[in-house]
Structure 1
Amino acid sequence: MNKLKKVLFFLFFSITCFYIQAQEIALRQGPQVVSPEVMNDNSVVFRVYSPDAKTVTLNGSWMEYGETVNLSKNGEGVWSVKVGPLQTTMYHYNLFVDGVRAIDPTNPEAFRDGYRYASMLIMPGADADIYKINPVPHGTLAQVWYESPTLNLNRRMYVYTPPGYETSNEKYPVLYLLHGGGGDEEAWTSLGRANYILDNLIAAGKAKPMIVVMTNGNAYQTSSLKNAPGVETITRETIGKYTGMFEQSLVKDVVPFVEKTYRVKANKDNRAIAGLSMGGGHTVTTTIEFPEVFGYVGVYSSGIDNPEAYPESKFINLKKSGVNKYWVACGKDDFVKEYSKLLRDMLDKVGLEYEFYESEGGHTWANWRTYLSMYAPMLF
């Protein structure tokens, strides 16, 4: 009996010590917070534990540019604010602790936008389902390195192959999807959710299975904002020599590499191109410089900034070569809407048929994700 008592005492003592240690750890870590917390009315509560901070603010993509809201601190050192209700879609946001930008430490969903990191929030509902990881067949997203003799660089791109690619002998059409200024080859999958959008559209039968190629549109970089050897900084004076080089590399290096490496339908009717902002400019330039390459053209939040740099004769050549679909999209509040108008004026002038979609909002990823989800079902 004494031995049993000793064993029981030892167990009780051990459990008590473990409980005390756990409490001490919890106290050192501070209160456990949940953030973001989506409420039943689609309002959202953001929280962060920062007992020594003097101010905490929040900026979200649902706000105006530069706008912030203040969080309030309780007695435990937890700052919080309730916003909304928010519409059903995908957002990104940052906290600013004493003016320092930070991601939400309790939200595992985060991504990189150029040099900036942000936390992600998908508001539940049918309108956001296309951006979510749903229980459907998923394609493969690969980071692929390729030689670019045009740029004299070894470069990286992201390649999405649709569900079933690895186990079939089928050949697929290809969409070349271009990012905007400040981004790189990760932009369309991190912020744009391109692979999930394609997964969901293909699963729903709304888009044909296709390969999507997303490369770095900055001709002076190898990958992920990493400049080429010998290129320390880019200035207004030095960037000029790279003008037009990406478009050359895309057609002369990327397309041949893809058509050699993957099972693709290697003809104009099975090649599409689309880009946002800077990538939209690349799309316009590429298609008029190489009118025989792409049968589908998508220009998002972009257009023509200087009509003299875009000869009418080249648009005429593009028209003569034949375009299956020319699709232009821009937001009502987008600061490049005049450029978009100049592009449409040129297309009207040469008689090249196109479709124009005008959305609400401005120069935002909320629009560009929508544009891709609308454009992909039009292809092939």
Structure 2
Amino acid sequence: MRNYIFFALLCVTALTQAQEALFNGQQVSSPEIYPDKSVTFRLSAPQADSVFVTGDFLPSVKVDTPMGKMDGPGKALLTKNEEGIWSFTTEALPPELYNYAFIIDGFKTTDPANPFLVRDVASVMNIFIVPGKQADLYRVQDVPHGTVVSRWYESDGLEMDRKISIYTPPGYETSEAKYPVLYLLHGAGGDEEAWLTLGRTAQIMDNLIAEGKANPMLVVMPNGNVIQDAAPGAGSAGYYTPQFMVPQTMNGVYEANFDEIINFVESNYRVKADKANRAIAGLSMGGYHSLHISRYYPDTFDYVGLFSAAIMAREDQSGEGVYADFEETLKKQMDNGYELYWIGIGKSDFLYEANTEYRAMLDKMGMPYEYVETDGGHIWRNWRVYLSDFVPLLFQD
């Protein structure tokens, strides 16, 4: 009996200690967003010598990347109190979706008090939303919601089955109507998940449709990396470290075989299968792909969106296959007619000069386009805005 009592007390003590450990791990609230839109970050790290927070809510700094110098997040030092809780409070922040991470004694890590994470290439970051204005498009609102599915299509040209993400608008399942389609392409280092997680595409579409600012449509988000069947961890290659530039990504093979994606969508979904009801848009590398796909198939899309696009083919591919006869095929696209050719770029984007040169070429050709210039550089904050501005212009009667 004594042994039983001793064992019971031991179990109770262990359970109590486990609960204390659990609650101690959750003893801070971070980030805390106040009514005035300031935000406090907190971290319990009594043994740390320094803690910084880094994120896109701070003034940007120039950082070296494989694509040259680009805007990167700044950092701010947290202050430690007597309990070993580090904290930093911002000034009032504009409404926006932000990302951040902590740097503890030089080691970059996520916030243990915030379970909401996104992956951008190989970096994992916490996110939070300061509500209001544009940022309300990125939130899940009390409106009818569309459906996001992952599908696999057979690619004869790329010799593999490939994964694709598809958004169908609210009411698609219960309707007999046919819908237009936006093909939305990611940038270098991205995949078929990027526009959903980092771009908030489903939330943007739900909210724009609910507000009557956009027509219901499908949004098709393929994987633009020709050697991948799916995003890292989601395909046959299993778990591996994602790369910024996947080999063979911009060699023309993806563009040449894009008709397989269109055929899959039009064979499996209730869509309007004509030029007037197809749009294509993409960011950075996806803008590059959108530019070349739309001119390689010059009578296929009535709407084209180039978001911070990587302009022109690389020199080693400029005279071959998809990239041959660039100006001639672009002129054929213009002569065939289209409803909208939309170009957006940030003033400090490292691709700004290339986009300026491309617009000069279009001006010389007499090829009409709409141009939007924003603050900031090569960042998701701009691309979410471009998507929000581009979608309401599509498929208008």
Q: Normalized against structure 1, the TM-score is what?
A: 0.88
Q: Which amino acid aligns with 1:48?
A: L
Aligned to 2:145: 138
Name 1:328's counterpart in structure 2: 343
Determine the structure 2 residue equivalent to 1:113: 120
Relative to 1, partners in 2 of residues 1:75 and 1:360: Cα closer, same or farther, differing over 3 Å? Answer: same
What residue is the counterpart of 2:356 in the other structure?
341
List alignment gaps of at least 5 residues for structure 1. 1-13
- Paired AA for residue 55 in structure 2: G
Distance change in 2, residues 1:235/1:173 (3 Å): closer
**Does residue 1:243 correspond to 2:251, yes or no?**
yes
For residues 299 and 245 of structure 2, the distance between their equivalents in structure 1, rounded to whole angstroms, comes to 33
Moved more, 369-378 or 316-325: 316-325
Q: CA deviation at 1:324?
A: 0.9
**2:63 aligned partner:** none
Distance 1:77 1:362 in 2: 37
1:315 Cα deviation from its structure 2 partner: 1.1
Pick closer, same or farther for the CA change 1:166–1:304 going to 2, 3 Å.
same
| Contact kept? 2:224, 2:249, Cα under 8 Å | no
Instruction: Report how far residue 200 of structure 1 moved.
Output: 0.2
Separation in 1 of the partners of 2:354 and 2:348?
13
| Match 2:161 to one of 154, 158, 183 | 154
User: How far apart are residue 293 of structure 1 and its match?
Assistant: 1.3
> d(CA) in 2 for partners of 1:254 and 1:142?
15
Q: Which residue of 1 aligns with 2:202?
A: 195
* Cα distance in 1, alignment partners of residues 102 and 310 from structure 2: 34
2:334 and 2:367 in contact (8 A); partners too:
yes
Match of 1:267 among 268, 274, 279: 274
Contact 2:305/2:341, CA 8 A, preserved across alignment: yes
Question: How far does residue 53 in structure 1 lie from its aligned partner after superposition?
Answer: 2.5
1:364 matched residue in structure 2: 379
The alpha-carbon deviation at position 94 of structure 1 amounts to 1.1
Matches within 5 A, 1:297-336: 297-305=304-312, 309=318, 311-336=326-351
Q: Secondary structure of the equivalent of 1:272? A: strand
Secondary structure of residue in 1 paired with 2:392:
helix
Change (3 A) 1:241 1:301: closer
Change (3 A) 1:114 1:103: same
Q: CA deviation at 1:99?
A: 2.4
Q: TM-score w.r.t. structure 2 length? A: 0.85
Work out whether residues 362 and 368 of structure 2, in 8 Å CA contact, stay in contact via their aligned partners in 1.
yes
Is 1:44–2:42 an aligned residue pair?
no
Tell me the residue number matched to 1:8.
none
Q: How far 1:255 moved relative to its partner?
A: 0.5
Q: CA deviation at 1:323?
A: 1.2
CA contact (8 A) 1:130 1:200 kept: yes
How far did residue 271 of structure 1 move?
0.4
Residue 113 (structure 1) shift: 1.3
Unaligned stretches of 5+ in structure 2? Answer: 1-7, 61-71
The equivalent of 1:225 in structure 2 is 232
Offset of 1:114 from its aligned partner?
1.8
> 1:138-189, CA deviations, whole angstroms, 9 ceiling, x for partnerless residues?
0000011111111001111110000000001100000000011111111101
Whether the aligned pair in 1 keeps the contact of 2:183 and 2:279 (CA below 8 Å) is: yes
Out of 52, 55, 59, the position equivalent to 1:60 is 55
CA deviations on 1:253-292 (whole Å, 9 max, x unpaired) are 1110000010000001100000000100001111111101
Change (3 A) 1:113 1:301: same
1:79 to partner: Cα distance: 1.4
CA drift at 1:240: 4.7
In 2, Cα distance between the equivalents of 1:135 and 1:368? Answer: 24
What's the offset of the Cα at 1:57?
A: 1.2
For 1:205, give the aligned amino acid.
G
- Counterpart of 2:367? 352
Residues 27 and 158 of structure 1: CA distance in aligned 2, closer, same or farther (over 3 Å): closer
Give the conservation status (yes or no) of the 8 Å contact 1:284–1:303: no
CA offsets 1:333-380 (integer angstroms, 9 cap, x no match): 111111111221222122111100001111111100000000000000
In 1: Cα distance, 2:382 partner to 2:356 partner: 18
Structure 1 distance, partners of 2:83, 2:272, is: 61
Query: Is the CA contact (8 Å cut-off) linking 1:273 and 1:283 kept in structure 2?
Result: yes
1:221 counterpart SS class: coil
The one-letter amino acid of 1:210's match is M
SS in 1 for 2:184: strand
Compute the displacement of 1:234 (Å). 11
Change (3 A) 1:305 1:260: closer
Contact 1:287 1:294 in 2 (8 A): yes
The structure number with the bigger radius of gyration is 1
Counterpart of 2:27 (choices 23, 32, 36) is 32
Give the match for residue 303 of structure 2: 296
